[in-house]
């Protein structure tokens, strides 16, 4: 017969389903919210940091600097406009600038951006070719891993591009793109891009037989790596009289996350409040249990149970609640993450991993379980002082 203290604790919890469910739900929601915030914060920060990787400055058309960064580094916003390639090349030759990666885009296929660039873009993110090869001729494309997987495309597949960055209404049916390679997934922005030579972008908008004048060739932006820190101070002056600007990804992203920061701080406070409430509810339910079950507890003392036995039983009940609530909370945050991931994927083509476990979550588990134990240990102490004789004499 199983009748150990853990089993008794479990039976006692089950005998009060409503009280148990309330404590569990409160703790699960509190832990779930904190864990969900840890997960999103970490993954969003990681995604931002990963994609900034050594991009010191972004050169593009004048407009919102944040938009310039979001559009060209993360590909989640529309670009600010186009700039002349010849003008951009002048900036590239500036002594303070070490190197630059040109980007030209304006078309999409099934919502995935077709980006004209050169091979340094792939090298920059350290991406490897999974199948086939990198593009070399105009209208050859190499797909990011997500694009290939989501659109179910293989080497040799062909498609038309559509004008704009999202919809499929205006399709250029005269120019056919051919898949010549697919990249290995590496978690960078490349996963969600269709890469092709710059010429493809210029030619797709040219009329039949027309040759684009090199002097009027436009690009969308250039990702710059500086040689000298002074570039940050000097370039804005250099560009003052042009239609171009440079923006610093690190600063713009910082500014943006700071603005999110206020919202996350409020959410975090709410999550902490819910957790505090759940501990209060565990505290009260253990206290209430001791009062309602004092006859039982006194009875156990007459049947060979020691004060320590009663104390352990009550602690186990609180501990069981804390552990179950915390685990439930972690499960809940995974479900939340999966839903959130779905939304982010649909809107931004970014992947959020729902099933990673963070070291900080380990800390959260330890903290939640120990505070839960403490919340039961304090009221359980009164079981040590239980007056058996008096309790049993009460009618």
Q: Which of 296, 328, 331, 374 binds another protein (CB under 8 A)?
A: 296
Alpha-carbon distances, residue 91 vs 84, 230, 236, 367 (angstroms): 11, 14, 11, 53
Q: Which is nearer to another protein, 104 or 313 (CB)?
A: 313
Q: Using CB under 8 A, which of the segments 5-13, 51-59, 355-363, 369-377 binds another protein? A: 5-13
**Ramachandran angles phi, psi of 208, nearest 5°:** -50, 125
Alpha-carbon distances, residue 359 vs 44, 92, 175, 362, 364 (angstroms): 16, 42, 50, 5, 9
Q: Which is nearer to another protein, 111 or 305 (CB)?
A: 305
Q: Which of 270, 299, 358, 374 binds another protein (CB under 8 A)?
A: 299
The contacts of residue 309 (CB under 8 Å, 6+ apart) are 5, 300
Q: Using CB under 8 A, which of the segments 10-18, 84-92, 158-166, 331-339 binds another protein? A: 10-18
Binding of another protein at residue 156 (CB under 8 A)?
no
Binding of another protein at residue 388 (CB under 8 A)?
yes
Binding of another protein at residue 101 (CB under 8 A)?
no
Q: At closest approach, how far in Å is the CB of 313 from another protein? A: 10
- H and E: helices and strands count for the chain: 13, 12
Site for another protein in 319-348 (CB under 8 A): none
Structure tokens at 370: 């120990």
Residue 102 CB neighbours (<10 A): 20
DSSP states along 159-186? EEEEESSS-SSSEEEEEEEEEEEEEPP-
Separation CA 214–CA 43 (nearest Å): 42
Binding of another protein at residue 305 (CB under 8 A)?
yes
Q: Which is nearer to another protein, 165 or 297 (CB)?
A: 297
Question: Are 224 and 55 in contact, with CB atoms under 8 Å apart?
Answer: yes
Separation CA 366–CA 189 (nearest Å): 35
Q: Which of 4, 126, 229, 236 binds another protein (CB under 8 A)?
A: 4
- Residue whose pair of structure tokens reads 């992203």 in the numeric block: 253
**Ramachandran angles phi, psi of 262, nearest 5°:** -60, -45
Q: Which is nearer to another protein, 3 or 211 (CB)?
A: 3
Q: Using CB under 8 A, which of the segments 8-16, 70-78, 321-329, 370-378 binds another protein? A: 8-16
Q: At closest approach, how far in Å is the CB of 360 from another protein? A: 37
Binding of another protein at residue 11 (CB under 8 A)?
yes
Q: At closest approach, how far in Å is the CB of 289 from another protein? A: 10
Q: Which is nearer to another protein, 263 or 304 (CB)?
A: 304
Site for another protein in 256-295 (CB under 8 A): 293, 295
Question: Are 388 and 301 in contact, with CB atoms under 8 Å apart?
Answer: yes
Question: Are 285 and 375 in contact, with CB atoms under 8 Å apart?
Answer: no
Binding of another protein at residue 385 (CB under 8 A)?
no
Binding of another protein at residue 118 (CB under 8 A)?
no
Give the interface with another protein as residue ranges (CB under 8 A).
1, 3-4, 8, 11-12, 14-15, 293, 295-296, 298-307, 309, 388-389, 392-393, 395
């Amino acid at each position: 017969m199983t009748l150990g203290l853990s089993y008794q604790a479990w039976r006692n919890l089950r005998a009060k389903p409503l009280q148990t469910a309330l404590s569990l739900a409160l703790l699960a929601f509190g832990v779930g919210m904190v864990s969900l915030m840890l997960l999103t914060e970490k993954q969003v920060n990681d995604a931002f940091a990963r994609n900034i990787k050594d991009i010191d400055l972004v050169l593009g058309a004048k407009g919102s600097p944040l938009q310039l960064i979001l559009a060209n580094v993360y590909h989640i916003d529309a670009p600010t406009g186009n700039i002349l390639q010849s003008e951009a090349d002048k900036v590239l030759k500036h002594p303070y600038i070490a190197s630059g990666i040109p980007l030209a885009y304006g078309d999409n296929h099934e919502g995935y951006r077709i980006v004209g660039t050169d091979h340094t873009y792939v090298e920059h993110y350290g991406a490897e070719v999974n199948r086939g090869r990198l593009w070399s001729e105009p209208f050859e494309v190499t797909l990011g891993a997500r694009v290939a997987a989501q659109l179910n495309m293989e080497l040799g597949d062909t498609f038309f591009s559509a004008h704009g960055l999202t919809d499929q209404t205006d399709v250029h049916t005269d120019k056919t793109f051919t898949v010549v390679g697919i990249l290995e997934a590496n978690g960078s922005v490349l996963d969600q891009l269709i890469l092709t030579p710059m010429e493809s972008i210029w030619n797709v908008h040219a009329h039949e037989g027309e040759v684009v004048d090199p002097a009027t060739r436009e690009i969308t932006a250039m990702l710059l790596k500086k040689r000298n820190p002074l570039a940050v101070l000097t370039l804005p002056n250099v560009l003052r009289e042009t239609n171009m600007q440079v923006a610093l990804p690190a600063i713009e992203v910082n500014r943006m996350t700071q603005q999110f920061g206020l919202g996350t701080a409020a959410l975090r406070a709410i999550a902490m409040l819910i957790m505090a409430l759940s501990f209060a509810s565990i505290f009260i339910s253990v206290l209430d249990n001791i009062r309602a079950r004092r006859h039982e507890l006194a009875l156990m003392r007459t049947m060979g149970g020691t004060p320590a036995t009663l104390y352990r039983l009550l602690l186990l009940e609180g501990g069981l609640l804390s552990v179950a609530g915390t685990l439930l909370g972690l499960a809940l945050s995974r479900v939340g993450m999966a839903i959130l991931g779905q939304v982010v994927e649909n809107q931004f083509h970014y992947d959020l991993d729902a099933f990673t476990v963070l070291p900080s979550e380990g800390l959260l588990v330890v903290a939640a379980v120990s505070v839960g134990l403490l919340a039961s240990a304090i009221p359980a102490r009164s079981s040590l002082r239980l007056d058996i004789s008096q309790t049993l004499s009460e009618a």
